[in-house]
Each structure stands twice: as structure tokens, then as C-alpha cells.
Structure 1
Amino acid sequence: MKMEKMAALLLAALMVLSLAACGAKDDSKADNGGETATTEEAAATYKSLMDRENEILSENTDLWEKVFLAADKGMAMIEDGKNYGDFLLDTIESAKDQFSDEEYALLKASAQEISEIENKLTELEKLHPEILNEETDGNGDVQKFPSFEGKDLDGNEVKSDELFSANAVTVVNFWFTTCSPCVGELSDLDALNQELAKKDGALIGVNTFTLDGDEAAISEAKDVLAKKGAAYQNVYFDSDGEAGKFTANIFAYPTTYVIDRNGNIVGEPIVGAITEQKQTETLQKLIDQALAADMG
């Protein structure tokens, strides 16, 4: 996949990481956290930051491709208190032997800039949460979750349009079998699914090892789910479809999306286990937002 497209997909898949830009370097209101900025000014600064981070990820595409390919999905977990820039810095450090000294220095400087941008975005989000009320694809349009036709782990056919339209809210959790934080939250996800069922909602899992119907991976996933007492539906689809390509560009696990009845992504994805307080609060806020919109 061309890195230009990869960068764009990263914006969609990792918006919770607040993909950013330093176009507001001259904006004193952004530098002090936006305390005196109006909502319109904050939104403009936020977009400028996002544009800058996209620009960074679109530069030196061959080098960034190496970084993303080097991301070990077994450890690509963004810990509480860290942001996407920190994740990139850790990944670059783990793969430093693949780069010359000059390349390594360039990538580290870029990732550090992204980290600083992320901190600015986080501050803006705290001061002006209204700027995140509706996630878009960058063109002013609500971002749709990629459609798919697949099966659950028991072989039953699943179509995304039917799945989402049947629920007031659907929580989609991406995980894989050897990801410790992913497996560690399965019981909590099952409890969440039971709570959602009372509100006309549901939770589904997507184990990335099971894409394309890998029988061995499906068997292992079912075994892990059973041991954790997780009975909610898990689905898979073709890796070369739109949903498969979307999944391939998730570089931090677990990652969880909230989808409304129309198949729209609500807000930002939650990166990290929902057992962490910050992730739990964010997820609940997005669920409530989707439910309120469905009732309205």
C-alpha cells in the first residue's frame, strides 16, 4: 500500500491518538492550551494540528513504511499516559538497526514533533470537548465504518449493514490471541456486551488472526474466549476487502470503535484496554452519545 494512503488511513483508524499538526506554532492561544480561544479558534487550531501530523506521516514515506511494518502488534499497545508520538518513538527505537544514523535522527525528530502535537491536541480536547462531538473523514462527511460480509466464529454469515442497523449502538473491539492486554479485557468486554444488550446495543470482536477464515486461528480464538467466559459474537472477513484494509492499518491493540445504527463511527477509537479508567470513561461517553442520537 502506498504510504500516502497509509497515512490517510492512519488518520481514520487512530484518531483517538489525535493526529495532529504544528501549523499553530505561531498561535499563542494554542501554546497556552487554548484557554482564551473560542470554540471556532480551537477547532481551527485542532484541524491545523491534524493537518501537520498528516503531513509528517506523508513525508519520507519509505522510512515510515519501515516503521509501521516494524510495529510488533504484540507490544504495540499504547499505555495510559502515552500518545501516538510516544508509540512511534518506541517503535523507531526498537527498529533502529534498520536505519542509518541520519534516518534514525530524522524519524526520532519527527516522532517527537508528533508527540508534542498530541499533547497540544489533548489539551484542546479537554478545554473544548465540543470540537470532538462529531468525527469526520476530513472532508466534512461523517466517517463510515467499512462495510463487510463475513462470518462469526461459528460459521454464521454476518453482514455489517444488517449488524449495525439492528443495534442502537455497536461496539467493535479489535484484538488478537497473543496480545496480553487484549485477552486481559475479554471478561470485561463480555460484561459490557450484557449491559449493552439491555439498551438495544451489542459488542462484537474482530480477532485479526482469524481474517480470511483461518481455521487454526479461529479454533485458538474460540478457546481463549471460552476460557475467559466471553460469549459475545466475534466476526471475521476477507483481508483484501475495505474492512480488511482498514484493519491492516491499526497498529495499536486493543482498539475499540463505537458505531451508530447507520454504520457511522462515533467520535474517536479507544486505544488500549477498557479496563483502564481513561479508556472506560471515554468509551462510555461515546456509547451514551450514540444512544442519545438514536433516541433523538
Structure 2
Amino acid sequence: MPDETKPRLNVLLAGPRGFCAGVDRAIKIVEEALRRHGAPVYVRHEIVHNRFVVESLERQGAVFVEELDEIPDDGRPVVFSAHGVPKAVPEAAAKRNLFALDATCPLVSKVHREAERHFARGRHILLIGHAGHPEVIGTMGQLPPGAVTLVEDAAHAETVEPPSGIPLAYTTQTTLSVDDTAGIVAILQRRFPEIAGPAKEDICYATTNRQAAVKAIAAKGAELVIVVGAPNSSNSVRLAEVAKRAGAARSVLVQRGAALDPAIADGCTTIGLTAGASAPEVLVEEVLAKLATRFTLVVEEVVVAEEKVVFRLPAGLAAE
């Protein structure tokens, strides 16, 4: 029986949401390395941008470091994060004979290979992305210094001055706003009509699908959209931005249920709920449980795509 003392709140649950295939693979790489080799397993940078995931792996014996020089020469495995790393990192690991496992998302690796192909054809690369993000650092680090120019937004696209007399190509970070990126690409194509692009969209399927689901719940009348994700998670931050642009009056980013004041939904009839690609479903359930302390929830899932993508583990962890 519903609790008549609590106001009713309709919750539109975005689908897809949460873990993507690249994140799932990266976490499994760490867990499988721990299962086979025991603790510690070192991980360079956060394996994915989610503290709940990182702390869960730490409890299992993962040790997170910022750089390889923090790792002793004791033969223990070291995992590179899902965001990808500059070429100098695996080269340094090989020089020290470290047992390295690469958890780079295959869709990020695709962007790396694209950049290398463009460079081999004599093109200067304009990389659309956010300065300082690990994925951008990794992609730029595939090529010699000066081979890539970062373009952060539409205003920058209007003013960027790449080296003259050199053919151009563009690539993008995989976790950007689909709409923002389309606008930036249009500016670059107007300014540089001969610019080459990727054979297939660089923004990954998971980012695209999660943004489409948020647009769908906003279109169905969500006055507030709650995004479960970390503030340093690019795809999660983009979801909160997309929600507002799609018509939601408000959007908030929360890391987990404990951080949410359910009173934020006071006065709302319908809200939306989603999760970034590095946020596990248990955190969505936490948010629902927190909201249920104040409201009688009526939950409806709004599914815009079915995801069946699975990425295999690297050769070093192939099935026994």
C-alpha cells in the first residue's frame, strides 16, 4: 500500500544509464588481476572517475598511484586507466620491465589510432576536448609535441590558428556533448573546408545514448534531473548540462544517495534520474532509496536504446 502521508513523485529513470562496456572492462581488468596475482595491484590514476568504484577496488587490494615512479620494482601488475595514457607511460613501464595491463577503453584507443593515421599522412590534428582531462592528455601524448592543437569550445574554434600550409584533421574526446561538438565541428569545417574528420563518430555510443535518454526524460516533463556521477567525470557533467538545455528547469550532479537532500524535489511532480558511464547501478538505487524517505515514488523507465556491447579483456588476462 502506498504511504498516503508522503507526496507522490514521478521518477523517469533514463535508459541507458550507468556503466558502459569500457568502464565495465576496466574494472574487471583490476579485479581479475587481483584474483590471479593477489594484492597489491597498482593502478595509475583513477581506473574510472568514480570514488565509490575506486574505494571498492582499494578494499580488494588495488593501490592507486599518480605516476609509475611510485611503484616498486617487485613484479606486481600495474593497470593503466580506462581514459588512456600517453605513449611515454607504457614505454617507461617496459624499460622497467613492469607487468603492465592496459585498461584503455577500446573506443579511446580508436581515437589514438586515428590520430596516428592522420599524422602519418602529414596532417596537423585539431583535438576537440577539455584541457587537463586524462583522455585528452593521453590522446595528445600519442604524437610528438606540437602535432596536436586542442580546441575546447566554439569560441576557441572561431579563433584557433593551426600551423599554416599543413593539411588538417580533427578528432574528439569520446565523452563530449554531442550537440556542442557538432557545433564546434561545423565551425572548423566552415573555417577549414578541407579538414578531414574521423571515418566514424569519435563520441562513443555510451555518451550518445545517455545524452539521448536525458533529452527524452526532459521532453517527458522532468522538472529536475538528478545525475549520479563524479564532478571530474566528463560524461556525467555533460549529462547535467544536456538536461537543462533539453528543457529541465534544474539539474544536479550527486555522487551518491548520502549526498542528496531529498527536499530538492519538493514542489516537483516529475523528476528524471540518470547516471554517468562510470557510476554503478547501486548508486542509482541509493538515490531512489533516499528520495523514498520523503516521497511515494512512481518509477517509469524511459529507454531510448539497448546496449549489448562487450569488450574482451586484454591478452594478459585472457581466459585460463
TM superposition score normalised by structure 1: 0.28
Over alpha carbons, which structure has the higher Rg? 2
TM superposition score normalised by structure 2: 0.26
| Higher relative contact order (CA closer than 8 Å, sequence separation 6+) | 2
Structure with more strand by fraction = 2
Structure with more helix by fraction = 1
